[in-house]
Amino acid sequence: MGYHIDTGLIIEKFNTDCECPLCEIQKIVEEQFLHEFLNDAVMEDNTRIKVGTTGFCARHFDMLFSRPNKLSVALQIATRADVITPMLGEVKNAKAAKKLADKIDSSYTSCVLCSYVEDSMVKYYKTIAQMFEREKDFYKTLVGLKGFCLHHYAELLRYSNCAGFMKNEYVKILSSNQSRNFERLKGELKQFCDKHDYRNANMPLGDAETALPRMREKFYGKKID
Ligand SMILES: [Zn+2]
Ligand SMILES: [Zn+2]
């Protein structure tokens, strides 16, 4: 199972009017993995082993469960349950209990889907930096963006070295765009707040109407069910 970077998807989503194009890309990447886990991947030994050793986080369990193929989910959860069973045997002493507590606590937060999605997203962060270095006009696309959510902005900064000899220019453009758009959104949020003053009851809100959910997107990323 693998995911190949689609630069066409980067261009498409970077030209979409949204608060974070990387959230839009991540949504598609995640859907593809969910689809694979509900179909072909369940048959692959490799994936079954990874599901056994890592399991799913609650969010991905719910996402898998909300889709039609329940048998596929059940088979994978059964594999994971077999791996967890030995952790639930008799505990011999208090020292072992403490150690086991940590192991049990991490058993329901580790997630094979989270790690697959993250691995793919890292490829996107790197590719975007490389596109900035290699494609003459890509900076215009970056300048025209409405910024990113905090997590994806941080990841782009983290992998900015991949822009090679253009890395300093890259972070300058990224940061000035992020800061400008954060100010824009703050302005819209203020407009939304001001509207609640009775003196501004007739003030047209325009885009500021949705400032709060978009600020949520800017802080935490796009909400995906
Ligand atoms: Zn995002
Ligand atoms: Zn997960």
Separation of 30 CA from ligand 2 center, angstroms?
10
Residue 115's CB is within 10 A of a number of other CB atoms, namely 13
Separation of 114 CA from ligand 2 center, angstroms?
4
Separation of 92 CA from ligand 1 center, angstroms?
46
Ligand that lies nearest to the alpha carbon of residue 114, given by its number in the listed order:
2
Query: In the structure encoding, which two tokens stand for residue 210, read together?
Result: 């949705």
Separation of 107 CA from ligand 2 center, angstroms?
12
Separation of 151 CA from ligand 1 center, angstroms?
6
Per-residue pLDDT, 47: 86
> How deeply is 57 buried, as exposed, middle or buried, from its count of CB atoms within 10 A (0-12, 13-18, 19+)?
middle
Ligand that lies nearest to the alpha carbon of residue 217, given by its number in the listed order:
1
Separation of 91 CA from ligand 1 center, angstroms?
43
Report the candidate in 53, 48, 110 with the shortest Cα–Cα distance to residue 76. Answer: 48
For the chain, which residues score pLDDT lower than 50? Answer: 1-3
Per-residue pLDDT, 225: 67
Per-residue pLDDT, 1: 41
Per-residue pLDDT, 48: 87
Separation of 116 CA from ligand 2 center, angstroms?
9
**How long, in residues, is the chain?**
225
**Sequence-ordered alpha helix ranges (H) in 66-221:** 70-84, 94-107, 112-134, 138-143, 150-158, 167-194, 211-220
Cβ atoms of residues 159 and 129 within 8 Å? yes
Separation of 56 CA from ligand 2 center, angstroms?
5
Separation of 223 CA from ligand 2 center, angstroms?
14
Indicate yes or no: pTM above 0.85.
yes
